[in-house]
Amino acid sequence: MTSDDWSALDAAARAAAVGQLRLAVVQVVAAVGAGIALTYTARTFRLTRRGQVTDRFTKALERLSSGEPYVRLGGVLAMEQIVQDAPDQGDHAARVLNSFVRKHAQAATTSRLEATKLAEKPDEHVQEALRALTVERPRGGSRVPVNLARLHLRKVQLVDAHLNGALLEGATLRDADLRGAELKGADLTGADLTGADLSSALGLTVAQLLQAGSLLGCR
């Protein structure tokens, strides 16, 4: 419109050019508006979803602190579901589940007399929390090392468990089922593996086994 050619155009050509310019401006404004609306909608969705996950997380924590075993079990399952639905919350849920296990599992002991008073196997909610804590997560990613050091976990079921880098120092894992478990870099110093099934365990080295406290009857 500012060029010399503009004055050479007749009225009809000028009207057509102005119309095209107006149409282009309207299209640009509409595209910018749609982009802003889309960005706002995506941000609202993320905030809403984050709020829902936070609410579910809070309710799961309340269940975990219940005095009823079946309510605590429900809290464990709810926490696991959060990990599946919101992988970005996986580490937070893992820390909570690990603390839950450490609180409710019995402490290991080297005293034979005290050992007779310990449970034959972990309580159901502890076993379920361990399963949820060591299960494969969606989308992979880094994991917080599991800390089961100095816990009494006789006959625990940890088939195919993800225990890479786990702290198992001084833990009682007598008759534990660790088939297919990933144990790369796990600290087994002083761990009682009497009768444990380690067949098909992954990443386990001779050096790790030599650090264990007992391997009697270990498979």
For the segment 166-207, what is each residue's pLDDT rounded down to a tens digit?
999 999 999 999 999 999 999 999 999 999 999 999 999 999
Give the residue numbers spanning the domain of 81: 59-211
In a domain, 114, yes or no: yes
Residue whose C-alpha is closest to residue 148's, from 139, 137, 158, 159: 158
pLDDT at 43: 64
In a domain, 132, yes or no: yes
pLDDT at 163: 94
In a domain, 21, yes or no: no
pLDDT at 42: 64
How many helices (H) and strands (E) in the chain? 7, 2
In a domain, 95, yes or no: yes
pLDDT at 89: 76
Rounded to two decimals, the pTM is 0.72
pLDDT at 3: 64
Q: How far is CA 211 from CA 150, 152, 181, in A?
A: 15, 18, 18
Report residues of the chain scoring pLDDT below 50: 47, 141
CA distance 180 to 160: 4
The amino acid at 11: A
In a domain, 46, yes or no: no
In a domain, 52, yes or no: no
CA distance 49 to 119: 41
In a domain, 145, yes or no: yes
Count up the domains in the chain and report the number: 1
Cβ atoms of 130 and 156 closer than 8 Å: yes
In a domain, 20, yes or no: no
